[in-house]
């Protein structure tokens, strides 16, 4: 009997030592799912304060109360804005193909945001910070033809005061419009993109234009519906400009972000789509790598734009 017990113990020890020698799977070192603390709201247990990444897109949820996580089926929740005085969560947001969508946890603050947006109806408004009493707020306002401008908003008077606007803001009516578009990739995945056309041209009117694709080759940064100096430069020279949120771009969930191997195919499909619409000339397509020009000064960026323009004209 003792011999049998000793034999089984030896067998178990041998199996255990063998398991210890097996290499751990790579996934064990690169865990992606889980919960990441974002804001601590101990005094406000009804409000979400953690980022949940157990599903594809990042979301906000509360550990203090049973409630559904705030999430978008397609876009990552970007952040949460809290009161400077109390730390109380006021709203969180995510950015769609064009606009930023807000979810307000404080009804009064939601009404306040609506008043701010009404003061700047042509812009996307973002609250950067506020004083402790939330009586004065620093506002960023932007759109496809205006770089970020900054305003001070007085809550009591419901009045916005311009603090700073770049020189391009004066050219608003002369600049090109950017159209949010969507096209299907070859495997059926819906891809968001932005199409900038020469001034006074619409997607229905544009025909066989030389086209420049603004792209990120290595970074995961996504494109937004916003002012782009490169897009405005090429559009002012008669080009169509396409910015594609190909797979590998952030903001669309983990699966989309991790599929960067499909980036080039998505870009190819985007070019094929714009050509099928008759907007882009088939033999006049050039690429502008934003990752290479990001750290350069204005003179170098303009020089690169001019070289790219020569190659596509």
Q: How far apart are CA 153 and CA 225, in angstroms?
A: 24
Is 190 exposed, middle or buried, given 0-12, 13-18 or 19+ CB atoms closer than 10 A?
A: exposed
Q: What's the DSSP call for residue 174?
A: G
Task: Report residue 220 as tokens.
Answer: 């995961």
Instruction: Give me the mean pLDDT over the 116-126 stretch.
Output: 94
> 36 versus 78: which is more confidently predicted?
78
Sheet with 35-37, edge to edge strand ranges: 35-37, 50-52, 59-61
pLDDT of 136 higher than 50:
yes
Instruction: Give me the mean pLDDT over the 18-42 stretch.
Output: 41
Architecture of the domain whose range is 176-312: 3-Layer(aba) Sandwich (3.40)
> 98 versus 297: which is more confidently predicted?
98
Is 170 exposed, middle or buried, given 0-12, 13-18 or 19+ CB atoms closer than 10 A?
A: exposed
Nearest of 266, 311, 267, 262 to residue 285 by alpha carbon = 311
Residue 12: pLDDT band with limits 50, 70, 90: very low
Residue 92: pLDDT band with limits 50, 70, 90: confident
Question: Domains of the chain: which residue ranges?
Answer: 35-169, 176-312
pLDDT of 108 higher than 70:
yes
Nearest of 309, 160, 240 to residue 150 by alpha carbon = 160
**How high does pLDDT run on average in the chain?**
82
pLDDT of 55 higher than 70:
no
Q: How far apart are CA 243 and CA 209, in angstroms?
A: 15
Instruction: Give me the mean pLDDT over the 129-150 stretch.
Output: 92
Nearest of 126, 73, 80, 119 to residue 99 by alpha carbon = 126
The percentage of the chain sitting over the pLDDT mark of 90, rounded to a whole number, equals 52
What pLDDT is recorded for position 6?
54
pLDDT of 5 higher than 50:
no
Which run of H or E residues covers position 91? strand 89-95
Residue 193 near residue 184 (C-beta atoms within 8 A): no
What pLDDT is recorded for position 61?
62
Residue 66: pLDDT band with limits 50, 70, 90: very low
Residue 193 near residue 243 (C-beta atoms within 8 A): yes
């Amino acid at each position: 009997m003792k011999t049998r017990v000793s034999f089984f113990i030896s067998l178990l020890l041998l199996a255990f030592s063998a398991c210890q020698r097996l290499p751990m799977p790579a996934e064990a070192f690169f865990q992606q799912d889980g919960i990441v603390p974002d804001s601590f709201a101990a005094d406000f247990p009804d409000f979400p304060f953690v980022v949940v990444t157990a599903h594809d897109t990042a979301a906000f949820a509360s550990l203090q109360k049973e409630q559904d996580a705030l999430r978008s089926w397609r876009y990552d929740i970007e952040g949460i804005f809290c009161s400077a005085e109390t730390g109380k969560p006021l709203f969180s947001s995510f950015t769609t193909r064009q606009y930023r969508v807000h979810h307000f946890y404080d009804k009064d603050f939601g009404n306040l945001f609506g008043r701010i947006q009404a003061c700047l109806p042509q812009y996307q408004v973002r609250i950067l910070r506020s004083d402790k009493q939330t009586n004065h707020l620093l506002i960023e306002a932007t759109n496809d033809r205006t770089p970020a401008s900054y305003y001070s908003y007085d809550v009591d008077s419901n009045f916005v005061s311009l603090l700073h606007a770049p020189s391009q803001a004066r050219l608003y009516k002369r600049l090109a419009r950017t159209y949010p578009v969507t096209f299907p990739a070859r495997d059926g995945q819906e891809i968001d993109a932005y199409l900038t056309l020469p001034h006074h041209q619409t997607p229905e009117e544009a025909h066989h234009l030389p086209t420049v694709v603004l792209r990120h080759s290595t970074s995961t940064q996504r494109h937004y519906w916003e002012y782009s100096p490169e897009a405005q430069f090429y559009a002012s020279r008669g080009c169509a400009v396409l910015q594609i949120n190909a797979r590998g771009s952030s903001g669309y969930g983990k699966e989309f972000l991790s599929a960067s191997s499909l980036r080039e195919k998505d870009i190819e499909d985007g070019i094929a789509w714009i050509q099928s619409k008759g907007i882009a000339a088939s033999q006049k397509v050039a690429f502008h790598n934003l990752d290479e020009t990001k750290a350069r000064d204005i003179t170098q960026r303009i020089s690169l734009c001019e070289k790219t323009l020569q190659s596509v004209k």
